[in-house]
Amino acid sequence: MATGKKTYQNTILDIAEALKLSPATISRALNNHPYVKEKTRNDVVEMATKLGYRRNHMASGLRSNKTRTVGLIIPRVSMFFHAEVITTIQNDLHKHGYNLIICQSNDSVSMERELAETLYASRVDALIAACTLQTIDFAHFDKFVEHGTPVIFYDRVPVKAYRATLIKGDDFQGAYAATSHLIAAGCKRIAHVSGPLTSNLYQDRAAGFLKAMEAHGLSVNQDWVFHQELSHENAFKAMHKLFETTAVPDALFADNDTTAIAAIEFAKARGIAVPESLKIAGYSNDPRTAIISPAVTSVEQFPNLVGRRIVETLVDLLAAEQEGAVYKTEPIIIPVKLISRMSTSTI
């Protein structure tokens, strides 16, 4: 261990004293207030640098009631889609002079509640959230809404009406496109491994799947439809069930890529030929889908586009805040695109 002494903190008062000016002038100079003589401003900036002055966000935030900080709550930073969204959000917010506090809920509702509490305590200027799959009650976001702080939900959004802005991918169309693609490839016996129906994601994807089946005159075998946490382990369990009898599916639509990849692994281990005997489609276009062989067909969600729209919307809301606009009433839907790969090939 080594020792370090606490040193003196320079404040605008120190700059004022050194320059024989009032703290008010220093504050104005540092905040690009119009009524400051150019020379004064230069002197102040120079002295600030010389003294190693750093603004204290807490003091200025307390006074001005603005933090220029945005809070973000997501289930996990390690999910490809979210990692990309974060990167875009951070970069774009930075251009507008906002900072970002990133928090992980680990897909735990109680953690999500605590994080919301903390971010509120930090008085963030806005909140962005991708909720957990189990979040049904959104009351822990009420305080933001009541306080006039814009809230943007993306990806996993409230199913019921809520006074916040919604930005989400077109899950219905994504599922519809993937299912139709499988059908066009000649599949008739299509299984669907989906997530918990508490989430809008899987409600919409399930609806898209059913609609596509119906539109093509195919019946859905309920034994082949799963709603479960989309883990690698659960995917294997589902695959075991699907292939434990003689009547087996000829295609699988998986609601995430982890499940699709597990299905590929299962098929390899069992000697089931993909795509010949079983075609597989996933969701999210995780980089792993392109690496595994056979490469997996998946649905691209354009995370960068999602991130960009989030920040655009946020900046808009923040700018209009004095007029009292805290959310967009219409959900913003980001289009998706099916990426066809070997796992659904007919050649």
Q: Which residues bind DNA (CB under 7 A)?
A: 9, 11-13, 20-28, 30-31, 34-37, 40, 53, 55-56, 59-60, 62-64
Find the distance separating the first CA and the last CA of the chain, reported in whole Å.
Answer: 66
Shortest reach from residue 241's CB to a copy of itself, in Å: 23
Residue 5 or 160: the one with the smaller Cβ distance to DNA is: 5
Given a copy of itself, DNA, none, residue 270, with its beta carbon under 5 to 8 Å by kind, binds none
**What is the token pair recorded at 244?**
């434990």
Q: Is 91 in the site for a copy of itself (CB under 8 A)?
A: yes
Stretch that binds a copy of itself, among 13-21, 34-42, 138-146, 190-198 (CB under 8 A): 138-146
Q: Is 76 in the site for a copy of itself (CB under 8 A)?
A: yes
CB 128 within 8 A of CB 72: yes
Given DNA, a copy of itself, none, residue 291, with its beta carbon under 5 to 8 Å by kind, binds a copy of itself
> What x-and-dash track marks residues 12-51 binding a copy of itself by CB under 8 A?
----------------------------------------
- The residues facing 190 across adjacent strands are 251
Given DNA, a copy of itself, none, residue 346, with its beta carbon under 5 to 8 Å by kind, binds none
d(CA 178, CA 297): 8
Instruction: List Cα–Cα distances, 145 to 136, 165, 295, 307, in angstroms.
Output: 17, 11, 44, 22
**DSSP labels, 215-241:** HTTPPP-GGGEEES---HHHHHHHHHH
Orientation of helix 23-30 relative to helix 12-19, angle to 10°: 110
CB 263 within 8 A of CB 235: yes
Given a copy of itself, DNA, none, residue 13, with its beta carbon under 5 to 8 Å by kind, binds DNA
Q: Are strands 298-300 and 99-104 parallel, antiparallel or unpaired?
A: unpaired
Given a copy of itself, DNA, none, residue 4, with its beta carbon under 5 to 8 Å by kind, binds a copy of itself
Residue 143 or 241: the one with the smaller Cβ distance to a copy of itself is: 143
Given DNA, a copy of itself, none, residue 234, with its beta carbon under 5 to 8 Å by kind, binds none
Q: What angle do CA 297, 299, 302 make, to 5 degrees?
A: 135
Q: Where are the alpha helices (DSSP H) in 35-170?
A: 38-51, 57-64, 80-95, 109-121, 142-147
Binding site for a copy of itself (CB under 8 A): 1-7, 9, 52, 54-59, 61-62, 67, 76-78, 80, 83-84, 86-87, 90-91, 94, 99-104, 106, 111, 114, 117-118, 120-123, 143, 145-148, 163, 261, 287-288, 291-293, 320, 324-329
